[in-house]
Amino acid sequence: MDHRSFKTPAQIFVDLAAGNPQRRMAFDPAQRRAALQALSRAIHDCEAEILAALAADFSKPEAEIRLTEILPVQAEISHALRHLKTWTKVRRVRPTRAMLGTRARIVPEPKGTALIIAPWNYPLALSLGPLVSAIAAGCAAIVKPSELAPASAAVIAQIVEEALPADLVRVVQGGVEVSQELLDQPFDHIFFTGSPRVGKIVMAAAAKHLTSVTLELGGKSPVIVGPGADLKKAARMIAWGKFANAGQTCIAPDHVYVAKQIEAPFLAELKAAIARMYGKTEEAQAASRDLARIINPDHFARLMGMIESAQSAGAKALTGATSEAESRYIAPTVLMGTDPSMRVEQEEIFGPVLPVIPFDDAADVVARIEAGPKPLALYIFERDRGLIDRLRRATSSGAVGVNVALVHYLHQNLPFGGIGNSGVGAAHGHWGFEAFTHLKPVLENRFAPLAMLMPPYRSGRMAKLAQKFLR
Residue 448 is given by DSSP the state: -
In whole angstroms, give the CA distance from residue 365 to residue 371. Answer: 10
Beta strands 399-402 and 323-324, pairing class? unpaired
First to last CA, the chain: 63
Residue 158 is given by DSSP the state: H
Contact 110, 438 (CB under 8 A): yes
**Is residue 46 annotated as a catalytic residue, yes or no?**
no
> What 3-state class would DSSP assign to 377?
strand
Q: Which amino acid is at 442?
A: V
Q: Which of 457, 422, 428 is nearest to 221 (CA)?
A: 422
Which candidate in 46, 69, 76, 250 is catalytic? 250
Which candidate in 46, 76, 139, 216 is catalytic? 216
In DSSP terms, 30 is beta-bridged to none
Exposure of 3 by Cβ count < 10 A (0-12 exposed, 13-18 middle, 19+ buried)?
middle
The angle subtended at Cα 183 by Cα 178 and Cα 185, nearest 5°, is 105
CB neighbours of residue 89 within 10 Å:
12
> What 3-state class would DSSP assign to 307?
helix
Catalytic residues: 216, 250
